[in-house]
Amino acid sequence: GQNIDQPTEMTATEGAIVQINCTYQTSGFNGLFWYQQHAGEAPTFLSYNVLDGLEEKGRFSSFLSRSKGYSYLLLKELQMKDSASYLCAVRDGSGYSTLTFGKGTMLLVSP
């Protein structure tokens, strides 16, 4: 089976840095994705990690440790528009592209 855990909610202040953690237990592993979902909208792709280490993309970075079954999404210089749900998703080792999602972390950025 698959199990993906991430905190339900987090709060942070504009301009700050926040780290959203995700731990997973899956049948095999073929990549980890982070998606952002604003209320009432579709999830949009943020990052993809398949090898250990840090992937940086502007204000957002994502880290993966396959041995620990652990990832985090780092958001720097937070803006109000970053208030959204952040979904951790894992592709298992079946060879198929289907993603299994965690329940999402609702991030609230305050002034």
Partner 1 sequence: DTAVSQTPKYLVTQMGNDKSIKCEQNLGHDTMYWYKQDSKKFLKIMFSYNNKELIINETVPNRFSPKSPDKAHLNLHINSLELGDSAVYFCASSQDITGGNTIYFGEGSWLTVV
16 belongs to the binding site for partner 1 (CB under 8 A)? no
- Is residue 62 within 8 Å of 82, Cβ to Cβ? no
Q: Which are the contacts of 35, defined by CB distance < 8 A and separation ≥ 6?
A: 43, 44, 45, 46, 86, 87, 89, 101
Which is nearer to partner 1, 47 or 82 (by Cβ)? Answer: 47
> Which of 18, 20, 34, 43 is in the footprint of partner 1 by CB under 8 A?
43
Residues that bind partner 1 (CB under 8 A): 30-31, 33, 37, 41-45, 48, 50, 85, 87, 91, 95-101, 103-104, 106
